Amino acid sequence: MFGKLLRENSIVAGILTLFRIYLGWAWMTAGWGKITGGFNAGGFLQGAVANPVMKGEALVYPGWVSFLESFAIPNAGLFSFLVAWGEFLVGLGLILGCLTTAAAFFALVMNFSFLFSGTISTNPMNILMGVFIAAAGYNAGKFGLDRYVLPFLRKLVNKGKTEKGHSVA
């Protein structure tokens, strides 16, 4: 019942549009600041390894710390690029309502990555908004470019299926 309301109600779509634009602005401006400010994720990554999330004497996320040590820190330049541009593009997608569900998904991935690294900040609030936006699917981008982009993409996919001999129902 709640899922149907979230996915089909036009009033909810309007409310989600406000959440989407607010969250998108936060992501886009954070990303733009990193793109134009010479962001380097290396310090953050090293800090996350030096001060991991602990419960008593035990690491809470040992696999995450191992990932940071063995892959993220040696590739800090790549992660700097991915974080800066990822934040900017997620924000742009949310503001424009273009590929909204995908943008919300990647926002959630980044928020959880920051939480696993020990950063609280606004991440819990952003996760809550992101979950509602992602769960709403098309309805979250109804008053945005998804209204035009998603039917176009469906048409392309269906055209490709019919050209390969698959029937389209």
The pLDDT value given to residue 160: 73
Q: How many Å from the N-terminal Cα to the C-terminal Cα in the chain?
A: 27
Instruction: State pLDDT tens for residues 61-105.
Output: 999 999 999 999 999 999 999 999 999 999 999 999 999 999 999
Share of the chain above pLDDT 90, in %: 89
pLDDT score of 168: 52
The band of 169, judged by pLDDT with boundaries at 50, 70 and 90, is: low
Is 162 inside any structural domain?
A: no
Whether residue 155 is contained in a domain is answered as no
Cβ neighbours of residue 56 closer than 8 Å, sequence gap 6 or more: none
Domain total in the chain: 1
Instruction: Give the bridge partners for 115, in sequence order.
Output: none
The pLDDT tens digits for 99-129 are 999 999 999 999 999 999 999 899 999 999 9
pLDDT(165) > 80: no
Q: What residues contact 44, with CB distance under 8 A and at least 6 apart?
A: 117
Residue 149, in any domain of the structure: no
Tell me, what's the pLDDT at 130?
96
How does pLDDT run across 5-54, given as a tens digit for each residue?
A: 999 999 999 999 999 999 999 999 999 999 999 999 999 999 999 999 99
pTM equals 0.89
45: containing domain: 2-143
Q: Which helix (H) or strand (E) holds 141?
A: none
Tell me, what's the pLDDT at 166? 61
Q: What whole-number distance in Å separates Cα of residue 97 and Cα of residue 51?
A: 37
